[in-house]
Structure 1
Amino acid sequence: MQTRVMKTIRLLSLILVAVAAPLAAAQTASQGPTRVIPDYTIGPADELAVTVSSPVPQPIYSAKNYRVQNDGTILLPGLDAPIKVAGLTVQQAREAIRKALIDARQFENPIVDITVTDYRASSVNVQGAVRNPGKIPLRADRMTLSDAIAGAGGLQTNAGSRIYVTGPNRPKPEPEARIEDGREVFSKQDLVDGKLPDARVYDDDMVFVEVAPHFYVTGYVKNSQSEYNWEPGMTLQRAIAMAGGATSEGALNRVEINRKDPKTGGYKKVKLNKDNMATPIEPEDVIKVPKKRM
């Protein structure tokens, strides 16, 4: 009789284990998709779904979410002391929890499963011409380059034409990707125009928004602003247009361009092209629109 009861208990235990696993999966699924990062190192503020079961008749911990505290620990039911999991991979954390449960005599041979449901320890570092540079928590299943820059407050008015992205967890770039000094390069204009919907960022990525060099327009132009962002392909015609164009008193036929000498640091007058307005403008150029002669 006792043997039959023990067999029944063991059978019920196995049924409970079989039921607990899909319930845990359903609970995790209800929270949305989770990302799987190979060899991910757990950190403070990560959220872990922990399920503990056993092949012998013992209580089962169904999937429950635990937020890793600032000191890197979580506290499981039945344990007197918290378990340090920060700095461990998921596999190492499983072993640490398993050992703690055995040492506390909660289980003889526990089966521990951990799923990271919220990677709050992951981040992207956004620097350069953004309003709030710094680390942005990587919380979404698919964070895009646009999301990361928005998280840093958006682009500054002095943002240049290029955005550089690099990181240890990035996949191999596509053949058509633009690479400079080992960094992927994206166009700011493409970002602004919404042409980079699939440009993703990953844990520990460094995003650097180029700070645009400047040129200056002075004299008889409509805008009082004198400093403007320089971009590749800038011409005299476009530069003056950015300054609002010449006033009615401005003499476009006598425009001057003064260019900084990299050796001396002084400025020298530039000889204009035959088509004056097509003359290329370089960073730090100073354009002067004089007054018309009487």
Structure 2
Amino acid sequence: MIKFTQMKRLLTILIGVTAIAAVAPSQISTETYRLQPEDVITIQVYRVQEINAVVPVGPDGNISAPFLGVIKAGGKTIKELEADLTAAYVDRLKLNDPIVSVTIREYRRLKASVNGFVGRPGIYDIRPNDRVLDLLSAAGGTSTDGRADLSKAYLVKKSSGERIPIDLRALLTGDASQNYSVEDGDLLQVPEETDSRIVVAGRVRQEGPVTYREQMKLSEIIATAGKIERRSRLSKIQVFRPLPGRPSDFLVIEANLIDFESGKDPAQNIIMKPGDLVYVPDSGNVDFEIINSIANVFFIFDRIGINPFRTGN
């Protein structure tokens, strides 16, 4: 025959397991979770039907427990709150060894942010025990344009302000030790890759960074940035290459892409390195498109009798 104390423990476990299975995802553990404002809980006392209520945790962390009134719940685990309620029901209602069960019916909406070079930066709902990979997945993973610096991501903990470095490349290839837990208000930052890119400036259609690839050549950089006919001086391109250990010093390489394109000198299509800066000078040629547009304006002025250079008397 099972002793009453053993039966009591069994009933408590069964009540808790049944309620959790009904309202909470199986991966959420309530053992360490601490109640917060906006959580909704269920309070039950075995064989006392009058004490069966669904109550929210208020903004001040308090609940209104059946027949007890205001009880502090915020910051407590389920077990801690059950112990407090049990003691209160014994003391105030004179219940004899009550079996009190508290279950989480609905978690407050926990949120964490993802910034930087991910698929969808923003603020996302999270659940207790979610981890970095869960949050990154909600944000659509890392950006697909190769601009994310996977080795320099970090997690900022709201509770402590601590900044935890994360190597996402290692994490995504199986290093689970960096899959840290994510809590309400945390921020995952995925910065831009700045070391492994090439910057283009000068007479091109689109100045700025270009994502570096292994064995990338100068002609690919110019094709990506877009040359400007009659203005891009491809015979006098300059590549500024940082010298290792000397960030203020550069090796200047001159390249003639005209000779490469004509087949005269294939070696002019140099292999690029991360951190290179490519400068395309102006050809100095007259831009006939601009001249034509100016001529058209003056033609219109002449037709309507306006002399833009005439000064008043």
TM value normalised by structure 2: 0.57
How far apart are the structure 1 equivalents of 2:111 and 2:228?
Answer: 50
What's the counterpart of residue 32 of structure 2? 39
What's the counterpart of residue 29 of structure 1? 21
Equivalent residue letter for 2:112: V
Equivalent residue letter for 1:288: V
What's the counterpart of residue 160 of structure 2? none
Match of 1:219 among 187, 199, 202: 202
Answer yes or no: is 1:104 the counterpart of 2:104. no
What's the counterpart of residue 87 of structure 1? 75
Answer yes or no: is 1:126 the counterpart of 2:114. yes
> What aligned pairs does 1:78-227 form with structure 2 within 5 A after superposition?
78-80=67-69, 82-105=70-93, 107-120=95-108, 122-129=110-117, 136-139=124-127, 144-149=134-139, 160-162=148-150, 164=153, 183-187=165-169, 202-204=181-183, 206-213=187-194, 215-221=198-204, 223=205, 225-227=206-208
In structure 2, relative to structure 1, the CA distance for the partners of 1:122 and 1:291 (3 Å cut) is: same
Equivalent residue letter for 1:52: V
What's the counterpart of residue 61 of structure 1? 51
Equivalent residue letter for 1:145: L
Q: CA deviation at 1:209?
A: 0.8
Answer yes or no: is 1:240 the counterpart of 2:222. yes
1:96-136 Cα deviation digits (max 9, x unpaired): 22223233316332222233344437543534457997864
Larger Rg: 2
SS in 1 for 2:68: coil
How far apart are the structure 2 equivalents of 1:46 and 1:201?
Answer: 24
Greater displacement, 42-51 / 210-219: 210-219
Answer yes or no: is 1:254 the counterpart of 2:236. yes
Contact 1:166–1:206 under 8 Å retained in 2: yes
How far apart are the structure 2 equivalents of 1:33 and 1:140?
Answer: 10
Answer yes or no: is 1:72 the counterpart of 2:58. no
How far apart are the structure 1 equivalents of 2:137 and 2:39?
Answer: 20
Contact 1:47–1:118 under 8 Å retained in 2: yes
How far apart are the structure 1 equivalents of 2:270 and 2:156?
Answer: 42
How far apart are the structure 1 equivalents of 2:247 and 2:100?
Answer: 67
1:248-279 Cα deviation digits (max 9, x unpaired): 43344432123578999867562268553412
How far apart are the structure 2 equivalents of 1:281 and 1:272?
Answer: 17
In structure 2, relative to structure 1, the CA distance for the partners of 1:90 and 1:217 (3 Å cut) is: same
Greater displacement, 274-283 / 228-237: 228-237
**Matched residues, percent identical?**
21
Contact 1:44–1:71 under 8 Å retained in 2: yes
Q: CA deviation at 1:165?
A: 5.1
Contact 2:111–2:123 under 8 Å retained in 1: yes
Greater helix share, 1 or 2?
2
How far apart are the structure 1 equivalents of 2:127 and 2:181?
Answer: 11
1:177-217 Cα deviation digits (max 9, x unpaired): xxxx9744225xx99xxx99x99773336522113437542
Equivalent residue letter for 1:219: G
Contact 1:120–1:139 under 8 Å retained in 2: no
Gaps of 5+ in 2: 1-6, 158-162, 256-266, 287-313
Contact 1:161–1:231 under 8 Å retained in 2: no
How far apart are the structure 2 equivalents of 1:139 and 1:212?
Answer: 30
How far apart are the structure 2 equivalents of 1:140 and 1:272?
Answer: 57
Equivalent residue letter for 1:217: V
